[in-house]
Amino acid sequence: FITLRLPVIGAANELRAIKRLTELGVETMTITAFGQRGSNPAKLESFIVTEELTNTVDLEEHCKDWRRNKPLFQEKLNLLTKIAEVSKVLHENGICHRDYYICHFLLHEESLQSDPSSPISSLKISLIDLHRALIKADLGERWKVKDIGGLYFSAMDIGLTQRDIYRFVRAYSGLPLREALSTRMSFWQQVNSRALKLYKKHH
């Protein structure tokens, strides 16, 4: 049995992904230095340095007690909508993160502490860990399933309700829920299947 995986060579891939996300208005890391030497792809040596993201908490940590201590409805809605919108921007522009879990979203605490129920426009979340990101002119459905399935898997234990999931579906698709489910049912079934498979594997 042979599994073919796309290689990740050096830091140039992460550099490219950070630049593209920045162009698209998606919060991410800020590059301060990049270097590379060698011409043989198999022997390239490279590095990337980014600014430290301070006063942040990853969403896995931030949401871990939601099952016991329910967050404000508006806070949860804002976070769900924000992540769905970021996912939509990535996939519509041919980007697959490939390690798309809630722990790779860093919430800037000052954007929430001022007022957890404030409008989504004030919410700042940075997407990190882009070294495996895939950028293609035409991103195939399987890559989108991989990302959203991984995202759903990583959020399965934070106490999301079925209505929360529907809210994500609506925001990600940009369609009314009934239309989103009826026109993309196969996609969401694949997402659910992948998430369950990952959950069984890790638990």
The catalytic residues are 99
Question: Helix (H, G, I), strand (E, B), or coil: what is residue 135?
Answer: strand
Burial of 35 (0-12, 13-18, 19+ CB in 10 A): exposed
Q: What are phi and psi of 118, to 5 degrees?
A: -70, 165
Q: Return d(Cα 4, Cα 6) in angstroms, integer.
A: 7
**Residues in a beta bridge with 134:** 96
CB contact set of 92 (below 8 Å; sequence gap of 6+): none
| Phi, psi torsion values for 146, nearest 5 degrees | -60, -45
CA–CA separation, 109 vs 106, rounded Å? 9
Q: Which residues contact 203 (CB under 8 A, 6 or more apart)?
A: none
Q: What is the largest CA-CA distance in the chain?
A: 54
